[in-house]
Amino acid sequence: MMAEEVKLFRSWSSPFPLRVIWALELKGIPYEVILVDLSNKSSLLLQYNPIHMKVPVLVHNGKSIAESLVILEYVEETWKQTPSLLPEDPYERAMERFWAKFGDDKVLPSLWNVFIKQGKDQEEAMVPAQENLTNLEELLRGKNFFSGERIGFLDLAFGWLANMVSVFEEVMGATVLDNQKLPSLSAWMKNFMDAPIIKESWPPRDKLITKCQALRQAHIEKEAPK
C-alpha cells in the first residue's frame, strides 16, 4: 500500500493552519508542512487555492482543500480513527459547527476591532467583544473543553483565542479577558494551551508580538485624521 501524500500549506504566524496541524497531530496523521510567505505568494499556493489565495491549504494525494473549518471536517471524515473530532449525535455536530462559525464571524472580528482601536473608540468596540466572550463563557460552563471532557472540533476552532487574546492584551496594554468575570473561559485557555500537542505548535511569541505591534500601528495611522 502506497503512503498517502498529506501536505499542509501554512504561514509562520496565521492561527488558522494551526487548527489543521492540531487535528492531524491528534489523529496521528503524518504530514509535510510547506511554509508560505503571504507577502510573496508562491505559484504552488495560487495553483492549489486560486479562489482565496491564502492559507491553510491541505493537499491530500494531489487534491487540495481550502478553509480551515472545511479542512477539519475533511480530516474527520477521511481519517475516522480515534479520537473523533465531532460528536456522533447530529444535533450536537450541528451545534459545534454553529459555534465554530460564530467564532469566525463574530468573536474574531469583534476582538480585532478592539485591537486596532484606541481611546473612546476602543471602549465602544469592547462592548460587543465582551458580549461575544460572555456567550462562550456560558457555552463552557461546567466543562473542561468546548467539546466536553477532551479536545474536539470546537476547541480546535477556538484555539486561536487561547494565544491571541494575551498577545493582543500585551500589545494594547489593556485587558480583554477578565479572569474573574470569565472563569470558565480562562480555565479553558489554560487547559487547552497546556495540552502537549497544542503547546508545541505556537509561533514564537516575541516575533508574533512584533508583527502585531506593526499591524496595529499601521491601522491606527491609517485611521488618523489627515
- Paired sense of beta strands 32-35 and 6-10, if any: parallel
Question: What is the Cβ-side half-sphere exposure of residue 134, based on CA atoms within 13 angstroms?
Answer: 7
Instruction: Work out the burial of residue 118: count CB atoms within 10 Å of its CB; fewer than 13 is exposed, 13-18 middle, 19 or more buried.
Output: middle
Q: Of the ranges 4-8, 80-84, 86-90, 203-207, which one carries the lowest mean pLDDT score?
A: 80-84
Q: Are both 6-78 and 90-223 of the same fold?
A: no
**Reduced to 3 states, what is the DSSP secondary structure of residue 58?**
strand
Above 60 in pLDDT, residue 137?
yes
Q: Which CATH number fits domain 6-78: 3.90.220.20, 3.30.1360.30, 1.10.3720.10, 3.40.30.10?
A: 3.40.30.10
Question: What is the Cβ-side half-sphere exposure of residue 220, based on CA atoms within 13 angstroms?
Answer: 15
Asked if 15 and 30 count as a contact pair (C-beta separation under 8 A), the reply is no
Helix axes 119-140, 108-115, angle to 10 degrees: 150
**What would the mean pLDDT of 121-127 be, rounded to a whole number?**
97
Burial 134-157 (b: 16+ CB within 10 A, else e): eebbebbeeebbbbeeebbbbbbb
Q: Which CATH number fits domain 90-223: 1.20.1050.10, 2.60.34.30, 3.40.605.10, 3.40.50.300?
A: 1.20.1050.10
Query: Which residues make Cβ contacts (< 8 Å) with residue 172, sequence separation at least 6?
Result: 114, 115, 122, 216
Beta bridge partners of 35: 10
For 57, list phi and psi in degrees, rounded to 5.
-130, 130
pTM of the model: 0.94
Name the residue ranges covered by the structural domains of the chain. 6-78, 90-223
**What would the mean pLDDT of 72-101 be, rounded to a whole number?**
96
Q: In terms of Cα–Cα distance, which of 128, 135, 119 is closest to 172?
A: 119
More confident position, 2 or 7: 7
Residue 1's pLDDT is 45
For 138, list phi and psi in degrees, rounded to 5.
-65, -40
Q: Cell numbers at residue 225, please?
A: 485624521
Q: Cell numbers at residue 195, please?
A: 495540552
Instruction: Encode pLDDT of 54-74 as tens digits.
Output: 999 999 999 999 999 999 999
Instruction: Work out the burial of residue 55: count CB atoms within 10 Å of its CB; fewer than 13 is exposed, 13-18 middle, 19 or more buried.
Output: buried
Instruction: Encode pLDDT of 19-39 as tens digits.
Output: 999 999 999 999 999 999 988
**Reduced to 3 states, what is the DSSP secondary structure of residue 1?**
coil
- Paired sense of beta strands 57-60 and 6-10, if any: antiparallel
